[in-house]
Structure 1
Amino acid sequence: MSEMSRELSIDMLSSLPDAAICHILSFLKIKIIMRHKAKTLHTLRLGFIRCNEYQLETWVTTAMERNIRNLHIDLGIGRIAFLHQTHFTCKTMVDMRLDNAQGLPSTGNIFLPSLKKLHLSKVVFEDDEALQQLLSGCPMLQELILNDVFGSREIHSYVNLSSSTIKRLELSLERICRPKDLNYKILIDAPAVRCLRVGRCDLGCIVIPIDMTSLLEANICFRQCCGWKFNNHNQSNLVEFFNHLHQIRCLKISCCCYMQVVGSIEKFNNLTKLELQLGVEWQLLVEFLEVADNLQVLIVTGSCRCIGVHHNVEIRGSCMEPKQVPKCLPSSLKTIAIKQPCFDEHELDLVCYLLRNSQVLERMEILPRKVISTSTWSGFLKNDLTEQFKALQRIVLFERGSKACQLVSEYWTEQVNGGQ
């Protein structure tokens, strides 16, 4: 083959569209891929592979030289990706996802001017300042997802999440946020956040020094509400936390400790959708409705009663109905969904109260647990379905405040007439 023919054969590959080149390279070994001379390499995914620190550094550096846009590193369980400062100086990077990594620097130049999405999972920082140093070098960052990122419990106690550009923020810190780690503090100073998710965090862990006026939706789960004493300090932290979210429109809470502060928090005047999970006394749920005057959608999942995990929480349980009906029931609440009910008397009381007082209600959904039929459980399944059907027959006869309300379950959909 002549020299000209050899050059033409190489150029034929380089001239292909990037999508075609990436598809071809996906079938090749890493060492062969890195010989490719294309000017751009949009995505590099290193997943569950064996490599040493030098190989990782070479691959990432080469990809950055070719204007990489997406970098995803997850070497697998038990394999740590050791990071270098050069990994955080790329002008073209848009999406960075690091899993099981170590070595985020707290000093030196960090420059990721195009980065919009940053996902860090099981990443160990050099110290408390490392994350804020990283964020300061990402002037276009819009999405930040942190999953068990702070690593060593002996050296990390205060983390500052300050950014004026982040619109989506997710925190999941289950590994480190336990009662003995109460010295952990995470300050969230992100006024542009529109979507917030907090998963399995300690009540005293999150500090929000500002009103999050841009926030539209939040999904909150604090781990301290289960089997952990709810004292005045925790109550104060919880009140302060929710008061900074009072402009929110959609709120999902997957724990019950919030019910202990409903009388102390500010009104959620913009809240139109509320989803509550885990068991609570239904009277306390009604109290929460009193701070959501414009609520339109209510979703309750799980048994509406006090269960064993609340044995250290003082529950003001009573079968007496509140004297004053929450404002949202007669004026704005249009959709209610009761998911996975146990159909005990507490829950039937709740359904009865909501149907009777919701004067503009258009739809109520009763969605029992789905049970898979097996020969072993066939008798139990039959009894369970029988009890569900009996409870639904009782609900059909409840008084309704809305003539247009449609009652929906797994078994039927009916047009319900008021005044029964």
Structure 2
Amino acid sequence: MASTISSSNSHKLQRYHMVDMKDMISDLPEGILYYILSRLSTEEAVRTSILATKWRYLWTQLPVFDFRDSSPKRNSKSPDCLVDLVDQLLHKSNRIKKLFIELPVTIVDAGKVSSMLSSALMHDVHDLTLNLESENSRFVLPNSFSASRSLTKLDIVFGFLDSVPDGICFPSLKILSFAHVTFTNEKSAQRLFSGCPVLQDLSFEKCYWVNINISVAIPTLKKLDIFFRSSSLDRNSCMFKIDAVNLLSLSYKSNPTINCFLVNSTSIVDANIDLGFFCVQNNELHVAVFAIELFSRLGSVESLRLSDQTIQCLNYAKSALHLLPSFKNLTRLEVHFDDPSCEVLADILRKSPKLEFLHIYGGSYLSLDSEDWTSDSLPCCFKSSLKSCDISDFRGDEAEIRLVKFLLENVTLLREMNIYCTGYLSKKSKKLADVRNQLQALGMGSCVINLHHSWF
């Protein structure tokens, strides 16, 4: 019969295990302790400094810091307090490689932000994100930035970029991105972009430009993402030219009346073009010229995605479609439609002799009752290379059924077609069954048709 443990012995046993557990954690290798801290938020990691003497400075060895104001009630003093706190903690840490700083939506003292950035750069930070959370915040890049040889990635979110120090240079910076940033000083903007000798990835998201006219050459640039609002640039007072001779990837989502131009960029292999957010009235000629100019840079593209508004822009340039380059390397094309005109698509397909995959969004808008689709004018890729076709936003309309029939009859090597139904069609069982029967009646031959449903 097992002996009974007295309450006194039980208390001693519990104390023993508690002490033993404490000793076990304290004796863990530092690598494991750092791993434990890395799973915590920065705020939680800093708080572990009160646990024991050994934990007091462990957090200062972490390579990643994420400072955000998590307080549910933000007052007018909290931004400056947070900046002071971050500045103090940065002076205590010595191994930071990645730093994320987010400040509340208020006007932050520019001098303190500059001091904080200087502290960050003292630690040879590789990856820095500064989110001021306010389009009214103004800041100046500190002079210490010109001495930052370790920074490889820089993200700036929100605020006015008023000044950039003379002689600024980021010798190691490869990724640079701006979001909701307003550029107000032409010389500073020119100085900043010219001070990135190895830059490979540049992006702008909803940025603003005030009286800016700059032209920069970035021969090392491989990837460019542009997303400008309709009011981002004043067409009459701003111009932004980027000379990127080795550019490989382009995502361009902008008002075509904005004077943002690519120069010598003819090596692009992947492009996503969305010429939206614009008012066409009285600008048809400018839109047409810009669209043709932009597409003249895409002769080497292998993958191309076009929005419905991009197709509309090219429609304004119908008389100049012959100026479009031959897409001799294009193998993948994705096109959105909300207009029945298909002359632009027909012209692009005729200039794409190696196309293997075609994805059409909004097929119900695509009219095939046109001389562009006669048997004598079919693109050569229909006979020699096109093997797969997807149709999205499929509603089962008569026009879409005709589109499927046309492709099955005219694309010789077609092996697979994926049709993605809208949520509305997927929920209408009778309509869906009728569509399925119509598709089966077409006689698919060697082509496999996959009908995909969506319940949203």
| Fold match by TM threshold 0.5 | yes
Q: Distance in 2 between matches of 1:41 and 1:264?
A: 52
Q: 1:337 to 1:230 in 2, by over 3 A?
A: farther
2:100 partner SS: strand
1:70 paired with 2:127, answer: yes
What is the deviation of 1:101?
2.1
Q: Aligned match of 2:392 in 339, 347, 352?
A: 339
Identify the residue that residue 197 of structure 1 maps to in structure 2. 251
Match of 2:290 among 237, 240, 252: 237
Aligned match of 1:220: 273
Summarize the Cα distance change of 1:319–1:25 in structure 2 as closer, same or farther, 3 Å threshold.
closer
Q: 2:103 pairs with 42, 45, 48, which one? A: 48
Q: Supply the distance in 1 between the matched residues of 2:61 and 2:232 (Cα, whole angstroms).
A: 47
What is the DSSP-based 3-state SS (H/G/I as helix, E as strand, rest coil) of the residue aligned with 2:323? Answer: coil
Q: CA RMSD in A?
A: 3.4
- Equivalent position to 1:281, from 322, 331, 340: 340
Following superposition, the deviation at residue 369 of structure 1 comes to: 1.0
Q: How many residues are treated as equivalent by the alignment?
A: 380
| Alignment partners' CA distance in 1, 2:395 and 2:55 | 68
| 2:361 alignment partner AA | T
TM-score where L is the length of structure 2:
0.73
In structure 2, the CA distance between the partners of 1:23 and 1:137, relative to structure 1 (3 Å rule), is: closer
- CA shift, 1:25, in A, is 11
Residue of structure 2 in register with 1:292 after alignment:
352
Query: Mean Cα displacement is larger for which, 337-346 or 270-279?
Result: 337-346
Aligned to 2:411: 358
Q: Distance in 2 between matches of 1:319 and 1:304?
A: 18
Helix, strand or coil at the partner of 1:340: strand
> Structure 1 residue 32: deviation in Å?
4.7
On the 8 A contact 2:83/2:112 being kept in 1, the answer is no
Aligned to 1:6: none
Residue 226 of structure 2 corresponds to which residue in structure 1? 171
Partner of 1:318: 370
TM-score by length of structure 1 reads 0.79
CA contact (8 A) 1:124 1:151 kept: yes
Structure 1 residue aligned with 2:263: 209
- Percent pairwise identity: 20
Aligned residue for 2:442, secondary structure, equals coil
> Do the aligned residues in 2 keep the contact of 1:270 with 1:294 (CA within 8 Å)?
yes
Query: Does 2:314 align with 1:258?
Result: yes
In structure 1, the gaps of 5 or more residues are 1-8, 307-314, 372-379, 412-420
Q: 1:93 & 1:217 partners in 2: Cα distance? A: 27
- Which is greater in Rg? 2
My pick for the range that moved more, 180-189 or 39-48, is 180-189
Measure, in 2, the Cα distance between the counterparts of 1:278 and 1:83: 44
Q: Identify which of 177, 182, 195 aligns with 1:124.
A: 182
Q: Quick one: structure 1 residues 25 and 176, their matched pair in 2 at CA, closer, same or farther if it must change by over 3 Å? A: closer
Q: Identify the match of residue 172 of structure 2 among 104, 114, 121.
A: 114
Q: Which residue type is aligned with residue 37 of structure 1?
A: K
> Does 1:148 find its partner at 2:202?
no
Check the 8 A contact 1:334/1:361 in 2, yes or no: yes
- SS of corresponding position for 2:121: helix
Rounded to whole Å, the distance in 2 between the matches of 1:22 and 1:86 is 23
Confirm or deny that 1:391 pairs with 2:435.
yes
Q: Is the 8 A contact 2:331 2:355 kept in 1?
A: yes
Contact 1:73 1:97 in 2 (8 A): yes
Cα 1:16–1:134 change in 2 (3 A) is: closer
By relative contact order (CA 8 Å, sep 6+), the higher-ranking structure is: 1
Shift of 1:104: 4.3
Residue 115 of structure 1: SS of its match in structure 2? coil
Question: For the structure 1 residues 182 and 407, does the alpha-carbon distance in structure 2 shift closer, same or farther, using more than 3 Å as the test?
Answer: farther
1:2-41 matches, cutoff 5 A? 13=57, 17-19=61-63, 22=65, 31-33=84-86, 34-35=88-89, 36-41=91-96
Return 5+ residue gaps in structure 2 as ranges.
Answer: 1-52, 71-80
Q: State how far apart, in whole Å, the 2-side matches of 1:15 and 1:216 are.
A: 44
Residue 368 of structure 1 contacts residue 388 of structure 1 at CA under 8 Å; is this kept in 2? no
AA aligned opposite 1:212: T
Report whether the alignment pairs 1:409 with 2:436: no
Q: For residue 83 of structure 1, what is the aligned residue in structure 2?
A: 140
Contact 1:106 1:126 in 2 (8 A): no
User: Structure 1's 203 and 246: CA in aligned 2 closer, same or farther, altered over 3 A?
Assistant: farther
Higher mean Cα deviation, 263-272 or 82-91? 82-91
SS across alignment from 1:76: coil
Q: Which residue of 2 aligns with 1:136?
A: 194
1:83–1:101 contact (8 Å) kept in structure 2: no
CA–CA separation in structure 2 for the residues paired with 1:78 and 1:233:
31
The answer as to 2:357 corresponding to 1:301 is no
The structure carrying a bigger helix percent of its residues is 2
- The residue type equivalent to 2:188 in the other structure is A
User: In 2 relative to 1, CA 204–43 (structure 1 residues): closer, same or farther, beyond 3 Å?
Assistant: closer
1:414 match: none
Shift of 1:62: 0.9
Q: Determine if contact 1:197/1:220 at 8 Å carries over to the other structure.
A: yes
CA distance in 2, matches of 1:66, 1:335: 52
Query: Structure 1, residues 164-212: CA drift from partner, whole Å, max 9, x if none?
Result: 111110111114258x735543323111111101113325533233242
Q: Distance in 2 between matches of 1:206 and 1:55?
A: 34
